[in-house]
Amino acid sequence: MKFHIFVGLLCVLPLGYASAAALERSGQSVHALFEKGNYAEVALLHVDTNISGQVQHQQNIAELGVQDFSTGNLVNNQHFIQAALKLQPHPQISVALLFDQPYFVDVDYHYSPILSGEPLPIENADIKFDSRNITALIGYQPTQHWNLVSWSL
């Protein structure tokens, strides 16, 4: 009886981690673990952004003689990588490694209009944040229609 309770707890306890995984926004899928045989995939994404606008307090800046209120491009180009590698050493056992960059931002903003031939630094912001995530999955398939999966972050 104690053995069955222990096995039941081992199956239920990892569910607490499943709700925390919902915080990731990259959309990294675990479908690689369910592919037949050995499997590998790589996804590369290049984001060519152009986010711009106008600066605040234009009246105060105009008093200095500045006429250009454009912020220019606020966000740099971004590269995003996802990869999955699945090995199946036994028909019922699978092992997968997933690589992911769930969060990233690269903002480079400098508003320095030229006044009397000299750049006048008014507003600056440099923000760069990059994260990487590697997930290891182990799957056991007791029957054709059931997969039991355990993972480690």
| pLDDT of 77 | 80
Average pLDDT for runs of 10 along the chain of length 153: 51 46 56 88 84 79 77 78 91 90 75 75 76 86 83 65
| pLDDT of 41 | 92
| pLDDT of 104 | 73
Determine the structural domain holding residue 19 and report its residue range: 2-152
| pLDDT of 153 | 58
| pLDDT of 11 | 52
How many domains, the chain?
1
* pTM passes above 0.75: no
Half-sphere exposure of 99 (CA within 13 A, CB side): 11
